[in-house]
A and B are shown apart, each in its own frame.
Chain A
């Protein structure tokens, strides 16, 4: 069922439609939260809070935009709040991925750590746009709506973010 129909069903009291909506977007929201929080338990908690917030404030969701974008807005705000409450960790103590035995996987884990560290070095707005563009596969138009900025500003942030990431990860041709 498409999102508009799902929302209509939920509005009429059908909680099975709510179930379907959550199942549809849970993984995406969780992935976004994980990349923001860098901690699985925190990501799961925030993801849960996103959907609870959505349900409790369902009346104020007037379907001006896509349901998916609205969920990302909630996720973004809740991640910001959660990160503000957490004591800031030094970059080196970001939750490491489980290191594997063979070199290939160790190299990959190192690379993942580098990417994570590099992303954390970006200014908030640029990191946001990069995450939503390359990990959540959202269009720039949707990202602009989620971050409540203009399309050209969003493009600029993406450009600047990739340039900075490229330097940090020593990739010359990212422009």
Chain B
């Protein structure tokens, strides 16, 4: 199975959201990294066929997905970044409703709904109204609906938003387990969501794919640009203002800084092995909020 994105472009009046993006995806988990406004959601919507590209197309095993129509949507599971629900629905109602839209028989819908509620640990609240759920519970329900038809292509837009660390770990394990014979595209700001489970990372910036490859391959591209140094507090202020600091740890009288920079930031800096988070900051540091990354006690 191969999903091909052929020079996908989406242009609006005042901006180009996706700019001639091409990629060939085979079964595995793809982490789509990019800052806000990079075009990730627009790309995902075009992959799902709910947004028409200005030019280019998406093809599955050589067949245009728009022409495939129903048979392509049958293979899809999609979790949008923001999604709603009908207020009167319980969790079970919601899954049965989406199952009907996905064409499952009543029997299959019940079986799958029960299975998935158990998988996402919502079986005890199956009969409760969704409006009583916390944000994390709603997100887990969203993940469950995406999996109802056992999709071959799973598109998840910021699926871990609102999940606490324990839930994120559980989600990672769940996705990792099912991505064997599926194409899973997962967009996230949280690098740790994909760092250890992604087969490939797609880095998107300003609507273009700037990097694509296995995590170790693309982090190797910024080898020699990540530094660690131990400095005094006055030096910390100067370095923080001037460079992108991916981690700052107070160690008594001195501070340990991890800096992403093309050149050596200070005398005592030593180059270290880059991580995916360093790569993210390398590409997107100018687009992140001030104070992110902030000080962290540990990584």
Chains A and B share a contact (CB less than 8 Å) = yes
Chain B, residue nearest A13 (CB): B107
Q: A11 CA to B107 CA in the complex, in Å? A: 8
The size bracket of the interface on B is under 10
0/1 interface trace, chain A 1-44, chain B, CB 8 Å (1 if under): 00000000001110000000000000000000000000000000
Query: Closest chain A residue to B110 by CB distance?
Result: A13
Residues of A within 8 A of B107 (CB): 11-13
Chain B residues contacting A13 (CB-CB under 8 Å) are: 107-108, 110-111
- Against A, the Cβ 8 Å flags (1 = close, 0 = not) of B95-117 are 00000000000011011000000
Alpha-carbon distance between A11 and B110 when the two chains are bound, in angstroms? 13
Please, which residues of chain A bring their CB within 8 A of the CB of B111? 13
Which chain A positions have C-beta within 8 A of B108?
A: 13
Instruction: Quote the shortest CB–CB distance from B287 to chain A (angstroms).
Output: 49
Cα(A57)–Cα(B112), bound, Å: 19
CB distance from A6 to the nearest CB of B (A): 16
A11: chain B residues at CB < 8 Å are: 107
Contact with A along B108-146 (1 / 0, CB 8 A): 101100000000000000000000000000000000000
In the complex formed, the residue of A with least CB distance to B114 is A13
CB interface residues, B 215-241, toward A, < 8 Å: none
Task: Closest B residue to A12 by CB, please name it.
Answer: B107
In order of increasing CB-CB distance, the 6 nearest A-B pairs are: A13-B107, A13-B111, A12-B107, A13-B110, A13-B108, A11-B107
Query: Could you show 6 A-B contacts with beta carbons less than 8 Å apart?
Result: A11-B107, A12-B107, A13-B107, A13-B108, A13-B110, A13-B111
